[in-house]
Amino acid sequence: LSTKDLRNLFKLRQDTPSDTHDKLRCDRCKIIADNAEMEAIKVLPKQLAACRDLLDRMMKEEDAASFLTPIKPEEHGVSSTDYDKKVRQPIDFGTIRSKIDTPVGSNNAGYKSTAAFSKDVNRVFANVVKVWSPGQEIADAARRLQSWWVDEWTLLVPVLMSMKSENDQCGAHIENIDDKENDNLQTNVALVNNERGEDYQEQIGMPDEENMRSWSHHYSTDTCDDPVFRAAMRGYDNVSFVFGLEVTWSLIQQRQEEEEEREAM
């Protein structure tokens, strides 16, 4: 590869789910009507309400006391100058609470996704680690609270992904579940809304590995045929496009039969 090719290979294009798919000039996918973005906008208020409930519960935890308002580093043995040098994006739970209460579209101040909310919460803990070391009271409090947060967020994510804008019952909160239900939730939660979507292009026969036009094309991980992969990706938007190649004995046999028929003609 030339230097130019390498530069283009690692260039991020944000105007497309897959530049590789674009280069194929796939005719099949022209018929796909992708309404995922519109659906996400409709369900977002319900999802943020559940996030707000979780945040409120976290703010009531004893270890959250130092993070309810902007941290005052002097109270924890660090000068404001040193703190500002290490923390470029200060954040606290009170600020997050204000953002989550801001209607979407209000001067771009509110959260546009649950992932953005989660990122801000994690930044609270990350900022503490940048300044204070284990053994110091604020660092230990942040570590314990982060452990609580990770456990609760892991439970909530599949519930968020199960929510539908047209069904108010899908967004049931997990705050008031009893102990028995809580024991079973971690096991059952991976099954929540794990149905395979329909907005994708099927694989054509048993194509060659280099013939990606005939692979299955997915604009969402929700349409992939692997249920474990679908469940693992619930709540994450890291993957914008998936090429799928299914290799099975039946497909291989079918391809061999087709090749034999062509040779016999």
- pLDDT value of position 46: 92
From CA 25, how far away is CA 55, in angstroms rounded?
A: 45
- pLDDT value of position 11: 64
Cα three-residue angle 16-17-19, rounded to 5 degrees: 65
| pTM of the predicted structure, to 2 decimals | 0.58
- pLDDT value of position 261: 84
**Three-state helix/strand/coil letters over 50-88:** HHHHHHHHHHCCHHHHHHCCCCCHHHHCCCHHHHHHHCC
- pLDDT value of position 183: 52
Beta-bridge mates of residue 217:
201, 243
pLDDT tens sequence for the chain (265 residues): 566 666 665 566 666 777 778 777 777 776 554 455 667 778 889 999 999 999 999 999 999 999 999 999 999 999 999 999 999 999 999 999 999 998 766 566 789 889 899 999 999 999 999 999 999 999 999 999 999 999 999 999 888 877 877 544 434 444 444 555 555 544 444 444 556 667 788 898 888 888 888 999 988 888 888 888 888 887 676 788 899 988 888 888 888 888 888 888 7
